[in-house]
Structure formats: structure tokens, C-alpha cells
Structure 1
Amino acid sequence: MSNGREMKGTLVLMTKNMLNFNHKVRKVDAISTSKVTKADEISTSKIEMRLLGAAGKGKKTLLGKHLASSSNLGNGQDSFSVTFKLDENFKTPEAFFIKNSMESEFFLVSLTLKGNSNDIHFVCNSWIYSAQKERIFFINKTYLPDKTPKYLIEPRKEELKSLRGDGKGTLKEHDRIYDYDVYNDLANPDKSVLGGTDDYPYPRRGRTGRKPTKKDKNSETYIPRDENLGHLKSSDFLTYGIKLLSENVITRFKSASGLMNEFDKFDDINELFERELPHNLPEDVVRNIKEISRVIGERFLKFPTPDVIRAGESAWRTDEEFGREMLAGVNPCVIQRLQEFPPKLDASMYGDQTSTITREHLKKNLGNLTVEEALNSKKLFILDYHDAFLPFLKKINGDHNTKCYATRTIFLLLKDGTLKPLAIELSEGDTSGAHSTVILPAKEGVEGTIWLLAKAYVLVNDSSYHQLVTHWLNTHAIIEPFVIATNRNLSVLHPIHKLLSPHYRGTMNINRIARQSLFNAGGIIEQSFLPGCDALKMSSAAYKNWVFTDQALPNDLVKRGMAIKHPSAPHGLRLVIQDYPYAVDGLEIWSAIERWVKDYVDVYYSKDSDVSNDTELGDWWKEVVEKGHGDLKDKPWWPKLKTLQDLYEICSIIIWTASGLHAAVNFGQYPYGGYILNRPTLSRRLIPKEGSDYDEMEKNPEKAYLRTFTPKYETLVHLSVIEILSRHASDEVYLGQRDNPYWTYDTKALRAFEKFGEKLKDIEEKIKRRNRDSSLRNRNGAVQMPYTVLLPNNEEGLTFRGIPNSISI
């Protein structure tokens, strides 16, 4: 202790969040230590603190003087001195209390106390309001519930109780309550509900307690206050950009002349890139575009050239690139090995809708192989969207603006490791019956145009399924219940809270913005993707078949037939396609996460009974299953969380989903989909029959293509969104990093984390070497795009690489 009876320290805080979405955007107010004349200034006499240690609570003290600026402080942060008076018997503090009596809130970053030998650190990162009772912050030590010092037991319980709330009332800005609700905030909240029903099951979101309303689209404003962290330059900027885009820009695009037309030729799309703003936009739209440009740090709507056409403007349309993107594109986790021919559906659900692709269809491009030989040698693969789209076809095709097929595509694995498309099946109809057409590869004439169109129909299916299921459902929506349950049931003193919390940073915030501005009724997703107002119904239908344990990458690969379990092979798997970039790089990342989780967990748990006897851990998992994913609570595949192996698996899946999986399916959106021809999101007519439109396919194939797929307005909407979604924030924290070096005092845990970081550096070098290996054809392809999305580290911007810890955009 300093001077024996007092302890000195430094408190770091910020006064305002620059981008507080609960209010209008407001400037960050400077901290002043002169006369207190404004509510936003810090009044040191109105911030009261006291320490907690083995001898009980220490004496109350007030915040001291404002300290000189330091290079160690982040943007917008200021530091203040604090001196605690101590009793003779007071020992090392394990927690401190703080009370704010000012009118305005502030963001508490940290408290550092000067000890006899080492500094004592409290990492806080929380908003402090006058409306809140005395708040407690714990030292960065870790205790299992039954190992908690007696004097911390009640504060630990009380803090969790305050985060759970009582399940009643409308929640206010200053509340820190985590609770569950169904998705009744998307359209008509009295009728349009996802979750809580057998027809439309869904993961739960955070509860606000607001009453359902048909009129106020902005009523969904609450998230637990600490989920809107208060960084000055962060993912908040990107989410703010989405909000501005949705509310103030896209709604006015339609008034700009020419934006409601079709593109006339492919060159019209190329002219979108690296140019100035589209002409004839209203003045207020231009102002908002300039504001978004300021926020994201680059010129908005001056679209950068997508990576997929940097090497040339025609490579995207080759069959080789079409197959490569199923293994190394933005949606590489759907393709399966074909294990029976012809592909079949569950007849009890759909009636007999066995594929109409025949052996004769495939024989033409199989070379010397028969279908059976290709099946048995594991050389046939399928991209199957028939089941996902069939229930929605009748409604989609009944709309005068959209027409589509449910597709199946069969590929052959060639000797050079690439996939060659053999046939595409285009199905019309509904669950009562379907009419299918099989399209075969062709390069010239009308047949060549029809083949290009057929591939584009597949890509419309793939783009929509990617956004609604692979990306939104399987990462964003799936993780939110874990965020809620962790904060409600695992104390910040709990080792698993410390392990998982970095992988939740910003998720509830971006999910709220997505429900307000992307997935809301009539919003961006419904406007620019094929399923339209049935978008989230399709997502809900996919959730019925979601399995938690299948989110482990090795399990996913085995389930899809893309790998076979083999104990002596790397990662215990033998890949069926050796040059499968997503799987090869992903398994390296997965194994590193799995090793890190085991090393960390073993610091605190030595045997299975340590896991089964952990009361907080048991409550956490029970709530995840029964409330957070309550619509699937009776499924037999949920781990029981009784053993160390259960705990390793559960934590590894959560971390992989929030980091590696999300990075793989998010940050390639603009590099691949920014060129709308490569990944169209809408189709507006079926393949023309013989006649004038049929002749157009021969005389002007570009026009035929552009008349069929995403037009100007929807393209501009789509590109505007995915450009933001594909960006990294300047203060992003990547896998193997922490935003504060003092996140724990446990030296064994710190050594394990350092080992994890070193492993990720090794993986990064391996990925770079693989990308330079010209024998690996799927690594770069005809478009010369190295597979970089699973390179762990990164920097700010539209970089097409980097694995953030969490889903924050």
C-alpha cells in the first residue's frame, strides 16, 4: 500500500459516445476541470468511490484532479487521480464501487491502483449513470463459483441478479439488463413473429420490454447499455453508416432519374466503379452520402473496383470460376458430395420430386467415367437449393417483379482439383409438384447464353441463401442468445466469461441495426434479394434443421461428405477435395481455437466433476438451450455440459462461429458480390421460350442477361450495403488479440493465450505460402483472387482479409 494507509490510482473515462444510436448523433464533449457549468462536464465532487477487500468495504473517496494528457490514452479519453484512505487492516482490493451523482453519464474505461510491487488493474468498459445504484467492478482475477472468496460471494450474486432484471417493464437507456424476446420487431409486431412458434422457430434476440406497435418503426431502440461501447472510431461508425444509408439515402434513390431502369450492357456496370456519385441525386441524399463518406473514411458511392474483375472483366463467367467460388468464394460451406443418384427429396414432405437429371445428361461431360464410377470414387458434388426454395416458388413467381427457379447443380472433380459443372436443374412449381428443365454446358450461340443464364439462376439462389442463412442466421442470429445467457449467468469473475466475452463484442448492436435497417419489413434485404417479404421465413425454415454440434467445422465437413474421419490425418480428417481453401485454412484456424480452448479450460478445471458441479456454468447452458434456443430445446443433439470434453466443444464452436466462420462468409461480400454480374441477387424472368425474346439471346446475349437479373436500383442498394458490411473498423480486435493486456492476472492463461497468438502467426504464413502455390488451382483461379479471408490479422478498411474476434459488422 502507498504510505501504508492510502492507495493512489488513476481513473480513465470518456464523457460521451460519439455515435450513440439511442439519440441523434452528437459531438464528443471535452472533459473540463474548470468551473462546472455544463451537465456534460465531469464534476469530481459528484463521483464517489470505495474499495472492497477481505476486510470489507473501504472508506468513501471522491474523484481527484484531472491529469495531464498521456500518449497511453485512447481517443477521447481523459484520466483523473484518485486516492483511497484505508484502515489499518485493509489488504489488497478485489473490487471497487463507484457512484455517479452528475446529471450526465460517462464511460468508465479503467482503474489502475499503485501497489507495493505491481499495479492493480480493473478493466471496466461500462457506462455509469446517475440513475444507477452504486456499481461494482471486480479485479481481473478468475474464480470458479465454489472457489470465490467469502467477501465476494454476495457481490458476485448481486451483480448477476442486476443483469438479469425481473423480466418486466420497458427497459431504459441506463439499464444493463439482458433478457430474451422473439423477433416481433421486423414488420407488423402483432402478426409477424419469428420464434416461439412451431411454424416459424428462431433464435431469441434481446428483450426491450416495449409494447408491440404497428406505427413506430424506430421504437426498437434498447440494447444493454454496455453493448454500445463508446469507442470513438469503431464498428459504431460502420453501423451508423448502415443506419444513414437505410433511413436517409436508399429511400430517395428512386427519385433519381435513370436509377429505375435496367442496365443496357455489361460496360454500364463497369462504369459504376471508381466514378463520382450517380447523377441527378437529390441534394439531401448527396448531403447524407457525404456524411457516410466522413464516417467510413472513404468516398461513399464511389465504389472501388471489386477484386473479382481486377484481373479482367470476363474471367468471372468461366465454368472454372463458377466451380471455384463454391470452394473459395463468399459462400463455401454449402456444397456437398453427391452420395446417391439421382438426388432425392423427402417424399413425405414434398411428394415425389426426384431430380430429373439423368445419367445421359451427365455422360456427355464425364469422359471415360460412368456415373457409378464417379460416385464411388467421390468425384461428384452437388449444390442443392431445390429444397430451400421450392416452398417459396409459387409466391415469388406470382409477383410480377420476380421469377426464379429452385436449382440443383452437379459438379465433377477434375484431376487438377477444380470443379467442372456438368448439369443444372431448374425447377418450377411448388411442393405439390414441380416441372424441371435440365441445362447442359455450352459456350456458343443461344445454348451458350442459356447456360450463362442457368448459372446466374444458381447464383441468385446462392446469394439469397448466403445472406439469409449462411451469414445472418448461422452467425449473427445464432450467437445473440449466447451473448445474453453469458451476461445473465456467468460472472465476470468466471473463467468462461473471460474466455467468451471478446467474441461477443458489438454483436447485439449490429443485430439491432440489422433488424431496424436491413431485415425490417420493406427494408434493404427484402428489396434487393429474391425471397422478398418471405426472406426471414426462408431463414426460419433453415433454422428448423440447424444443429449446434454441426457448427464445428470438422463435423460440418463430414456431414456434407466433404471430409472423411481419419485418425492419422491432419485434424483427424481426410478432405475429399484436397484443394478446398475454406476447409484447408478453416481447419487450421479451428484446430488452433480448439487447442487454445483446451489449454485455457484446463487451467481452471481438472476433472469432469469440476464442470458438472459448476453452478453458474450449469445455469448458463440450461438457459442457452431452454430459452435462447428454446424452439429447439428438445433436440437430442445438444451437449449435456457434464464433462470437460463437452466444455471444450461448446466453447470452440462459439468462438469459431463468431470469428472464423463469420469472417469467411462476410468479408468477401464486396470483393465477389460487388460485381453484380458475378453474384446477382434477383431474377425477374424465366428463360425465354422461342420467339422474340429467344432471338434476343442469340443477337444480344448481354441484354438478355441484364433483362433477367438485378437491375440498376437494386444493384445500387446492394452494393451500398455490402461495401459497408465488408469493411473492418480501425479499432477492430482480431483473433489472438485482446483489447486490454490486463484482461486476466492468471499467468498460465496468459501463457496459453500467447501460444495461441503464435500459432495464428504460423497459420498466416502457411496460408500465404499456399496462395503462392500455382499447383493449387482453387487458391487464385482465373480471376487471380488469392484466398485471404481467413488470414487472421488485418488493418482497417475494405481489405478482403482478417478474422475479428466477434461479429461486429
Structure 2
Amino acid sequence: SFGVIGAVLVENELHNEMYLKNIVFDGLAYGILTVSCNSWVAPKSDNSEKRIFFTNKHKASVFVLGLLMYYLISSAALGVSVDSAGCVYILCERKTNDRIYDYDVYNDLGDPDSKSELKRPVLGGKLHPYPRRCRTGRPHCKTDPLSESRSASVYVPRDEAFSKVKLLTFSLTTAEEVVHALFQTLDTIFVDPDLGFATFTDIESLYNEGIKIPPLSKNGFLKDLFPGILKCITDTEEQVIRFDTPKLFESKRQIFLVRDEEFARQTLAGVNPYSIQLVKEWPLMSKLNPEIYGAPESAITSEVVEQQIKGFMNLEAIVREIKGTTLYGSRTLFFLTPDGTLMPLAIELTRPPLDDKPLWRQVFTPSSCDATASWLWRLAKTHVLAHDSGHHELISHWLRTHCATEPYIIATNRQLSAMHPIYRLLHPHFRYTMEINALAREALINADVSSRHHSHQPRECCGGFQPRRMAETNNRDYPFANDGLSSGMPLGKIRTVGHGDKKDDPWWPVLNTSDDLIGTVTTIIWVASGHHSAVNFGQYAFGDEEYLGEEMESSWAENPKIKACFELFNRNLREIVGIIDARNKNKNLKNRSGAGVVPYELLKPFSGPGMTEKGVPNSISI
């Protein structure tokens, strides 16, 4: 008698919070009506505001819009302030059951109140441009008013927090304790702390024999905490911890330092396939500060390159002039051979003046004749792998997936109603990301990360693979790019506040048409799913993920058009599984098949139960 239901107001009269999954109305004249909530509702004693949930089937009526506007206005009396830029800030520290999405800079990476040497610069602003994180409202440090103090737990909006099952696989307190114990133990097993591991056998012993660790206050969750990483924990008086052998290392052992082919292949099919780019400028020029690192011209000369490519083709014919290059602490030059594999030509290492040592740079090349030169070449490759590992974790992984996605989560929840189709499309791809980021800030990340890489971040995302220019080579045997392009085919405030330090840069995509929107949304989904899968799961496999295109959202199932589109998307992804399997069996694709080569399955859309090292999860959740 009261018409078509558009929304439901919910009040929790229990003493504890309640997780509300669905509300189902049966017996209505127009059939069964479902309201998908999937949200925690705080008890009335903690929050007297009624929660509003919209039906899965809705129409943009005056009644629904009026109800929404009333609800938003009535929620404004929560102690807020508005700055000169129109940004709303909550004045108090966030509580566990809050659902407040707001922006802040990365000013909580240090702990200056504990030790003065733990003071860290603020990431975000003109000096250190960086994406924004979620505001926690914690008080600032006593010794540094620019830094936010630390607390026992880090606030994330209630619906972004881990479920109990997820929490069992990631306990911050236990993780910090284990990591601290491992570092203590590694210090004691080194023959010389300045030299690290004395032999390759010492490294392998971490997997084969294990290492003794100091007593932990609790170890019951260790196997759940690091699924697939910790192979064995002995519950004896002397606790011994063994790491599961990574699949790649298990089959390669010392090949990294022996075979140039494998060293090169990892740039295309390893855990960091984002660092390599096509050379289109010669001579190579550095963007490092010349006052510290000397002249910008690279020490890798034409003579060095032509000696290594041995007549494949003329250097001038393969290098086309174009501005811009990506540079790291070391520079490695590869040659793309006719069979699609890469051949390392030269490695340039440089060191700025340090203490009483002058500026130094040197070029190393492969050598099979001279034993000393051969070992120097292997050491140079080790330096490259160390640099690449740092770039991989802090830039390709943390900055370009975890860090870059958080502003999109905040903006989506601030600017879009939960019944908005774009909100419903993006929501599955944001699951657990804010929580994992908050835990990472507390336990893993510090502010020694250079923010200059942020200038390349949105351009990298919005331009797909083109910024690295590897797609221009038409290389059929680039596993990450080929599988990524296959997987990517079916796929206001963010710019001005979330990525505010780069809001005026010219590379932001135009958002005027439906096609513009499709491109932007596809990019966001790709970063949260395919990009993160490629740079994360090659390290260790994790199970119990929700995979891309596997489960249909309940609101989609009730719309025939959306349901049909999802089913088509699911079929396309299953076809990609077959395409990737065929590529891995193709003997002509030497970067992904052959003796001792691990098949490239990081972008294989689906996975079976357990840890399979395949499957593209919906969101950044580990």
C-alpha cells in the first residue's frame, strides 16, 4: 500500500555491531525484492544515525533522490569542518566503526617520538609529490608537528577492514614480531655482517635446513600468517623456521648468475616486467643530478654495443631518436634477437662521490675468456637484480598499485552513491586494499622512497603498455605484455585531491564521453587486478582469493542486460585461459617454454583451490 520500495533505513538495537548481507522482501505485489547491504551496522548506542540501503532494482525517481539528499544533509552534523578549498575534514580521531573516507598525505611513515632518527619526510605536496592515503585523525607527534603519531591499530573505514578469515592470514603484531626475529637471526648467521651470505649454499639453507629464531610470544598463527611461505615450523625448545622454496628459484638455483638468457628473460616474464623499455635515443643520457653523478652521457658507448651484437645489425639502424628515458641506479642494455629473446649487452654501474671516494662509473660486458671479467659480469648482474628488486617492491608494486589505488577508493565512496552503477562496478576491485595499505604503512614501508617516480604513475596506468614502448617492438614473446593485453581487452575528486600533486599535468585522460569513461574505469580495474597480480604473485603464491570475472555481484544478476554482459566477460576470460596455455606450449616462444623455463601463468584469469600460482584476483588484498 505504500508503493514501490526504493530504500531501507536500518537501526541496530543490539549491543554489538552486526554484519548485514541482504534484506529480502517476499510477498510484495511485484515479486521478491532484494537489498544487498554487505556492510557492518554499528549498534545504536555507538551511532544513532540510521543506515540507508538501496534496492538492487532502482529507478532514478524524485522520491529516491529526495531521500538520498535528506540522508546526506542529516549526516552533516558529525563535527566536520570545511577548508578554503571546499574539502571536508572530520575534527576527531576516527573510531573503529566509522565509515569516513577522507584524504591525507603520507605523514605516518616514521616514529620521531620514539627515536629522533626515525623522523621521515612527508610524502605528498610540492616537495615530494605523492598520492593521498585515508585520513585517520590521529594526533600529531610531539617532536614533529608535521608527522602523525602511531597507535596500536590503524583506522580504515569499517567496511574496508579484513574479515575474521582474512585477519587470520595477516596478523600485524605477529608479522612484526616474526620479521624482527628473522632480521635478528640473519645478523647472527652472517659470517661477516658487511658481506652478508658467504656462499650460495648459505642462501639455499634458508629453504633446505631452516634457521633458528628467537622465542616468539605466540606462534599459533604463523602458518596461517604466511601461507605458502613458511614450509615448516618445529614446535621444539629451539624454534626452526623454513621458508618454502619459490617456484622460480626451485628450478633455477644459481642460474641467475650463470645464464645470461635467464637474466634477460626475467625482464619480460619475471616479477617486475614494468622496468624495461625500448631504446630510442643514443647515446643514452642520464637524468641523475650531474653535480653528484657526473656528466649525463652514459659510459655504454657504440663500440661496446657493436662488439656485443656482433654484426646482427648496425646500431644506428636499430635506435630511433625520441625524447625521454627511464633510468635507475644501474643501467642494463639488452638486444632483441631475431628469435624473440633478449641478450644482455652491457651493464653500467655508477656511484656518486662517497666519503673520501671519488665519482665512479664502469661498464661491464659478458666474457667467456677471462675468469676475472666473467665474475665481474656476474657481480654486475647481482647489482642489477638488487636494484630491480627495490624498484619492483617500492615503485612497480607499492606505488603503482597499492598507493595509486587508494585515492580512487576514497573518491568513489565520497562522491558516488552505493546504488550508482559505477560504484557497483568498481566496489569488488577495492576489497581489503585500504586495510592492507594501512598495515603496510605500519610494518613494511618507510619514507626513503623517492617520490619522483610518482610523476610517471598515472601516465603509466592510463597509457597501458605504451609508456615503456616495448609494445612497439611487435615482440610476440613478451609474456607479461601479451597476456596483459589479452586480459585487459574484456575489462572529479580523484584528480584534484587524491592525486592533487599532479592535478595540472597534461597527461590526465579526458572524461567527456562514454568511451572516455570506459577507458578510465578499465584502467582502474586493470591496476587493481592484472597489474597487481603480475608484480605480486610471482614472489609467492597465496590462496583463497576472489578472482576476476568469477562471481557475479547480486545486483547484476537481477538486471538481464548486465547479467548477459558479465556472462560474456566470463566466457572471454575462459577463452584467454586456453590462449595462455597454448602460448606456454609453443616451442617458438622461448621466454615461456623450454627446458627449465617456468610457464608464465601470472595473468591466467582463473585458479583452482589452494595455491596454484595462477589466477588474477579482483583486488589488491595482499
TM-score range with shorter-chain normalisation? 0.7 to 0.9
Query: Could you tell me how far apart the structure 2 residues matched to 1:769 and 1:163 are?
Result: 56
Instruction: Please tell me whether residue 293 in structure 1 is matched to residue 234 in structure 2.
Output: no
Spell out the pairing of 1:569-588 with structure 2 (5 A cutoff).
Answer: 575-588=473-486
1:662 to 532, 542, 559: 532
Identity of aligned residues (%): 37
Query: Could you tell me how far apart the structure 2 residues matched to 1:186 and 1:797 are?
Result: 34
Instruction: Please tell me whether residue 768 in structure 1 is matched to residue 584 in structure 2.
Output: no
For structure 1, which segment, 762-771 or 162-171, has the greater mean C-alpha deviation from structure 2 after superposition?
Answer: 162-171
Partner of 1:108: 20
What is the Cα deviation at residue 263 of structure 1?
2.8
- Answer whether contact 1:164 1:179 (CA < 8 A) is retained: no
- Answer whether contact 1:125 1:229 (CA < 8 A) is retained: no
Instruction: Please tell me whether residue 155 in structure 1 is matched to residue 88 in structure 2.
Output: no
2:32 to 114, 119, 138: 119
- Answer whether contact 1:189 1:212 (CA < 8 A) is retained: no
1:641 to 506, 511, 526: 511
Give 1 or 2 for the bigger CA radius of gyration.
Answer: 1
Give CA-to-partner distance per residue, 1:62-87, whole Å, 9 cap, x none.
xxxxxxxxxxxxxxxxxxxxxxxxxx
Seen in structure 2, the aligned counterparts of structure 1 residues 488 and 587 have a Cα distance that, compared at 3 Å, is same
Query: Could you tell me how far apart the structure 1 residues matched to 2:71 and 2:437 are?
Result: 25
Other structure's SS at 1:499 match: helix
2:170 to 230, 233, 239: 239
- Answer whether contact 2:169 2:224 (CA < 8 A) is retained: no
Other structure's SS at 1:127 match: strand
Partner of 2:215: 283
Partner of 2:494: 624
Other structure's SS at 2:120 match: coil
Spell out the pairing of 1:347-426 with structure 2 (5 A cutoff).
Answer: 352-368=295-311, 369-375=313-319, 385-386=327-328, 406-426=329-349
Query: Could you tell me how far apart the structure 1 residues matched to 2:567 and 2:353 are?
Result: 54
Other structure's SS at 2:242 match: coil
For residue 551 of structure 1, what is the amino acid of its counterpart? C
- Answer whether contact 1:480 1:507 (CA < 8 A) is retained: yes
Give CA-to-partner distance per residue, 1:635-664, whole Å, 9 cap, x none.
122234222222112111101111111101
Instruction: Please tell me whether residue 437 in structure 1 is matched to residue 362 in structure 2.
Output: yes
Other structure's SS at 2:2 match: coil
Instruction: Please tell me whether residue 338 in structure 1 is matched to residue 279 in structure 2.
Output: yes
What is the Cα deviation at residue 550 of structure 1?
3.4
What is the Cα deviation at residue 114 of structure 1?
1.8
What is the Cα deviation at residue 746 of structure 1?
2.0
Query: Could you tell me how far apart the structure 2 residues matched to 1:266 and 1:348 are?
Result: 36
For residue 54 of structure 2, what is the amino acid of its counterpart? F
Seen in structure 2, the aligned counterparts of structure 1 residues 136 and 557 have a Cα distance that, compared at 3 Å, is closer
For structure 1, which segment, 260-269 or 639-648, has the greater mean C-alpha deviation from structure 2 after superposition?
Answer: 260-269
What is the Cα deviation at residue 204 of structure 1?
0.6
Query: Could you tell me how far apart the structure 2 residues matched to 1:274 and 1:123 are?
Result: 49
Query: Could you tell me how far apart the structure 2 residues matched to 1:589 and 1:440 are?
Result: 37
2:375 to 441, 446, 449: 449
Partner of 1:471: 397
What is the Cα deviation at residue 212 of structure 1?
1.4
Partner of 1:589: 487
Query: Could you tell me how far apart the structure 2 residues matched to 1:669 and 1:252 are?
Result: 18
Query: Could you tell me how far apart the structure 1 residues matched to 2:203 and 2:613 are?
Result: 21
Instruction: Please tell me whether residue 491 in structure 1 is matched to residue 417 in structure 2.
Output: yes
Give CA-to-partner distance per residue, 1:11-69, whole Å, 9 cap, x none.
xxxxxxxxxxxxxxxxxxxxxxxxxxxxxxxxxxxxxxxxxxxxxxxxxxxxxxxxxxx
What is the Cα deviation at residue 434 of structure 1?
4.7
Other structure's SS at 1:656 match: helix
Give CA-to-partner distance per residue, 1:726-765, whole Å, 9 cap, x none.
423x2x2111133644445321111111111110000011
- Answer whether contact 1:206 1:484 (CA < 8 A) is retained: yes
Partner of 2:85: none
What is the Cα deviation at residue 269 of structure 1?
2.0
What is the Cα deviation at residue 384 of structure 1?
5.3
Query: Could you tell me how far apart the structure 1 residues matched to 2:575 and 2:187 are?
Result: 53
Partner of 1:138: 54
- Answer whether contact 1:113 1:120 (CA < 8 A) is retained: yes
Partner of 1:211: 139
- Answer whether contact 1:123 1:140 (CA < 8 A) is retained: yes
- Answer whether contact 2:556 2:563 (CA < 8 A) is retained: no
Query: Could you tell me how far apart the structure 2 residues matched to 1:738 and 1:363 are?
Result: 53
Query: Could you tell me how far apart the structure 2 residues matched to 1:658 and 1:484 are?
Result: 14
Partner of 1:558: 466
Seen in structure 2, the aligned counterparts of structure 1 residues 348 and 489 have a Cα distance that, compared at 3 Å, is same
Partner of 2:571: 758
- Answer whether contact 1:164 1:178 (CA < 8 A) is retained: no
Query: Could you tell me how far apart the structure 2 residues matched to 1:497 and 1:637 are?
Result: 24
What is the Cα deviation at residue 491 of structure 1?
0.3
What is the Cα deviation at residue 246 of structure 1?
1.3
- Answer whether contact 2:459 2:467 (CA < 8 A) is retained: no
Query: Could you tell me how far apart the structure 2 residues matched to 1:218 and 1:260 are?
Result: 34
Query: Could you tell me how far apart the structure 1 residues matched to 2:353 and 2:37 are?
Result: 55
Partner of 1:221: 154
What is the Cα deviation at residue 129 of structure 1?
1.3
Seen in structure 2, the aligned counterparts of structure 1 residues 257 and 494 have a Cα distance that, compared at 3 Å, is closer
Partner of 2:116: none
For residue 469 of structure 2, what is the amino acid of its counterpart? G
- Matched residue pairs, number? 574
TM-score, structure 2 as length reference? 0.86
Spell out the pairing of 1:285-324 with structure 2 (5 A cutoff).
Answer: 287-288=218-219, 290-295=220-225, 299=230, 301-317=241-257, 318-324=259-265
Instruction: Please tell me whether residue 271 in structure 1 is matched to residue 205 in structure 2.
Output: yes
TM-score, structure 1 as length reference? 0.67
For residue 180 of structure 2, what is the amino acid of its counterpart? I
Partner of 1:727: 542
Seen in structure 2, the aligned counterparts of structure 1 residues 159 and 237 have a Cα distance that, compared at 3 Å, is farther
RMSD value over aligned CA atoms? 2.8
